[in-house]
């Protein structure tokens, strides 16, 4: 299991992160998984044995049960808390009132302390804003997170499911206020959905942020088990994230011979492709069964050839969109000069 630096911090995390959305099984999350303490302990133990030191959860997962089970697993297994990087999130509704959700200072501070209690720890390594809140100024959110860092309750802060311009704006606000900056972005990115490459990916590279990938198998779609219209499995009751099946089938067609050549599952091919992307820090692997987790963890040992990567890139390529194609065209006459070549003719 390779370790990678988390953003611009001195913290190193495993390239596969254990996701705990399947822990608890309360509310809507029962459609994803309903693991109790004993089953969760078995998954945490298997992940640790494989070299995982990174665990991701959220306060909203099963209404706090996921955090409780995650923290209890570390204690049940006698694991050293300081040897692990614990990440959790805040933003989703944790009660019926209008102030029991969002990214206001009130909600962030209250939920940070609630997460600490549920996890049974004195500090959270990575505290992430779970989504965009249109009702709260970014300045308020940045200041609230900074106060948690300064108080020692949180080590680093990150964000999930924001647009590139929103993240860039928050980074500028944090710099002006000398506040803790976002170090990570948790985002959806798969062979079945490469939209991140349009704006978020270049921003991540420019600003030195770590990328944590959620749902790296597109909700199980890239395992190939839904191709024949199977009525079983996670997507049968929770068809998320959305997938363009016309494009997705082409990706699966390209994956099959590669999986056969290596003697591995299609899921491992999808994960290995992500692990070879330079912008990816860690992929979040969640599972309901030990065999599922073992298969996902094995992807860390799979190396795709340049030719195989090129085949998958071509099959999953995004349609060209403006302004990307214009930026590429107009940059041609400058990119040569940057490489020491004669300037090229400009284009409209």
The SS3 call for residue 156 is: strand
With beta carbons less than 8 A apart as the criterion, state whether 86 and 124 touch: yes
Using DSSP bridges, classify how beta strands 12-14 and 182-188 pair: parallel, antiparallel or unpaired.
Answer: unpaired
* Burial call 181-216: b when 16+ CB within 10 Å, e when fewer: bbbbbbbbbbbbbbebeeebbebbeebebbbbbbbb
CA distance linking residue 140 with residue 146, whole number of Å: 10
CA distance linking residue 324 with residue 269, whole number of Å: 28
With beta carbons less than 8 A apart as the criterion, state whether 345 and 221 touch: no
Q: Return all residues near 110 (Cβ < 8 A) that are at least 6 apart.
A: none
For 71, list phi and psi in degrees, rounded to 5. Answer: -60, -40
Length of the chain in terms of residues written = 348
CA distance linking residue 301 with residue 293, whole number of Å: 14
**109, 172, 101, 164: which is closest to 139 by C-alpha?**
172
Residue 236's CB is within 10 A of a number of other CB atoms, namely 12
- For 88-145, the three-class secondary structure string (H helix, E strand, C coil) is EEECCCCCCCCCCCCCCHHHHHHHHHHHHHHHCCCCEEEEEECCCCCCCCHHHHHHHH
188 is a catalytic site residue: no
Two tokens at 116? 């600490």
DSSP code at position 65: H
The three-point CA angle 179-182-184 to 5° equals: 160
For 247, list phi and psi in degrees, rounded to 5. Answer: -75, -35
Two tokens at 28? 């809507």
Kindly list the catalytic residues. Answer: 61
């Amino acid at each position: 299991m390779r370790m990678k630096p988390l953003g611009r911090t001195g913290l190193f995390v495993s390239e596969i992160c254990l996701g705990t959305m399947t822990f608890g099984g309360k509310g809507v999350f029962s459609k994803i998984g309903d693991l109790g303490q004993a089953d969760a302990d078995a998954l945490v133990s298997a992940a640790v044995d494989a070299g995982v030191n990174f665990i991701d959860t959220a306060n909203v997962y099963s209404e706090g049960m996921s955090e409780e089970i995650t923290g209890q697993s570390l204690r049940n297994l006698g694991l050293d808390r300081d040897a692990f990087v614990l990440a959790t999130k805040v933003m989703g509704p944790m009660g019926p009132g209008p102030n029991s959700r969002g990214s206001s200072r009130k909600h962030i501070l209250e939920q940070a302390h609630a997460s600490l209690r549920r996890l049974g720890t004195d500090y959270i390594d990575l505290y992430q804003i779970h989504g965009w809140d249109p009702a709260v100024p970014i300045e308020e959110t940045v200041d609230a997170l900074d106060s948690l860092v300064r108080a020692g309750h949180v080590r680093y802060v990150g964000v999930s499911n924001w647009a590139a311009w929103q993240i860039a704006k928050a980074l500028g606000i944090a710099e002006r206020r000398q506040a803790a900056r976002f170090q990570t972005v948790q985002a959806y990115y798969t062979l079945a959905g490469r939209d991140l490459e349009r704006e978020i990916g270049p921003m991540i590279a420019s600003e030195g942020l770590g990328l944590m990938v959620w749902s790296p198998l597109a909700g199980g779609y890239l395992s190939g088990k839904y191709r024949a219209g199977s009525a079983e499995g996670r997507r049968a009751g929770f068809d998320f994230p959305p997938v363009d099946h016309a494009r997705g089938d082409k990706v699966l067609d390209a994956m099959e011979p590669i999986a056969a050549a290596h003697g591995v599952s299609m899921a491992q091919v999808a994960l290995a492709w992500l692990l070879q992307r330079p912008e990816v820090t860690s992929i979040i692997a969640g599972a309901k069964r030990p065999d599922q987790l073992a298969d996902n963890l094995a992807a860390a040992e799979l190396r795709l050839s340049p030719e195989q990567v090129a085949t998958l890139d071509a099959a999953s390529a995004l349609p060209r969109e403006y302004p990307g194609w214009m930026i590429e065209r107009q940059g041609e006459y400058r990119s040569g000069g940057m490489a020491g070549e004669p300037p090229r003719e400009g284009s409209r």
